[in-house]
Amino acid sequence: MHREATYAQAKRLRRPLTPPEARLWLRLRARRLAGLKFRRQHPVGPYILDFYCVSAKLAVEVDGVSHDNPAQAEHDRKRTFWLSRRGIRVVRIAARDVRYELDGVLAFLARVAGERSSDAGDALT
């Protein structure tokens, strides 16, 4: 029941995507990237991740200029540490890279997710 409440809360709190997030989401949704399923604004513990691939335990965060702020950078560091302790790899992508280097960003994400998915499969065998 608690998990359902978390998902419902995340859905209610879902904020509009920024233009770079929307641009990336168009290329991640519906298994468009290497057949990988990504979720947007997915809750994990106290955090809501921009994008999350369950099979790869991969969180993708699109960072704008606000993440250059020292207080925000410290919050991001603590969040990344908390998620990594749970086996989730966090990849931070600069919004400008989504705008100007989208193909490179997608290739990088496909490689990282693919490596993590195959590592997870190897661990199960």
Selection from 105, 112, 111, 117 nearest residue 25 by Cα:
105
pLDDT score of 65? 65
pLDDT score of 69? 78
122's tokens? 């190897």
Contact predicate 38/59, CB 8 Å = no
23-34 pLDDT, tens digit each: 999 999 999 999
State the Cα–Cα distance between residues 21 and 117, nearest whole angstrom: 23
Work out the mean pLDDT of the chain and round it to a whole number: 87
Q: Where are the domains of the chain?
A: 2-124
If pLDDT is split at 50, 70 and 90, which confidence band does 70 have? confident
9-25 pLDDT, tens digit each: 666 666 788 999 999 99
Return the CATH number of 2-124, one of 3.30.1330.30, 3.40.960.10, 1.20.120.530, 3.20.20.210: 3.40.960.10
Mean pLDDT value across residues 87-95: 97
Answer yes or no: is pLDDT of 120 > 60. Answer: no
pLDDT score of 64? 83
Answer yes or no: is pLDDT of 59 > 90. Answer: yes
CB atoms within 10 A of CB 73: 13
Mean pLDDT value across residues 95-113: 97
